Amino acid sequence: MLYLLTKFLGSSHHSLFKSIYIFLISFFSNSFSAISGGGAGLLQLPALILSGVPYYQSLASHKFATVALGIGSSLRNYKSLGNDISIARQILIFGLPGVILGSFIVEYISEKYLYLILGIISILLAFYSFFKPDLGLSSGNNKLYKVHKIRFLIFIFLIGILNGSISSGTGLLVTILLIKTFEMDFLRAISLTFFTVGIFWNFIGAVFLTKIGSVPSNILILLIIGSFSGGYFGAHLSKLNGNILIKKTFTIVCISVGTSLLIKSIKNFFN
């Protein structure tokens, strides 16, 4: 199938080996992302850059692909979304302006500072999850006071800015924010994250990033196929194995994403 797809794409510079490489990276990174609630950019974005795609084009391609991840995951877990439509609406109303702002300012903010901040946050989230053994294992309905609602919406807007300007980790932040704010379990929080962040945030961010540079269509098709199938497969595994698997994967992905971002930041400081 990949051979036929490569022929269909018709690019002399896009070899069969490169097609298989990009597809597999996309499939496995998005499978783990669908289980943990984020982190697909840990593997997918560097793989695109190593393939010779410029950073901003890679970022836009990655975001378009994670829309397919969000759709694949949401299709598998759509029943988990039924009671959280009002929360999803808040995430979209207050998060999307942040995404748009982030996509506009990404050209003017040094990546090393964004990587450093998000890397530290991701590692702290991993330790927090590890030392809170009951975190996200059961679901409740936490009653929010006005101050809690305002704090939640402010955090959503700020995470939206990060989402529009950087590739990895924002889905993890939204997932843990939903768990802490609304006492959701991991499965419920991740389903909502991929429906809002995966589909809508990333699509809007990708559209605005394409104004910086065009997206290579041959690579994008492979990424979309890999992301959709990986998202559905990862969501299926998480549904079968429950919140304990999700929590463990979340912690591992947070550590991995955080370490990767810190390394990128340190490299940029010395370049």
Q: Over the stretch 48-104, which tens digit does the pLDDT of each residue have?
A: 776 777 767 777 788 888 888 888 877 776 666 777 889 999 999 999 999 989 888
Top mean pLDDT of 49-53, 157-161, 257-261 is at 157-161
Torsion angles phi and psi, residue 52, rounded to 5: 100, 10
How far apart, in whole angstroms, are the C-alpha atoms of residue 39 and residue 59? 13
The number of CA neighbours under 13 Å toward the Cβ of 53 is: 25
How far apart, in whole angstroms, are the C-alpha atoms of residue 126 and residue 120? 10
Overall pTM surpassing 0.85 (yes/no): no
Average pLDDT of the chain, as a whole number: 79
Confidence at residue 177, expressed as pLDDT on a 0 to 100 scale: 92
* Short-list 35, 80, 74, 76, CA closest to 245: 35
* Conformational region of residue 145, where left means phi above 0, alpha means psi within -120 to 50, and beta covers everything else: beta
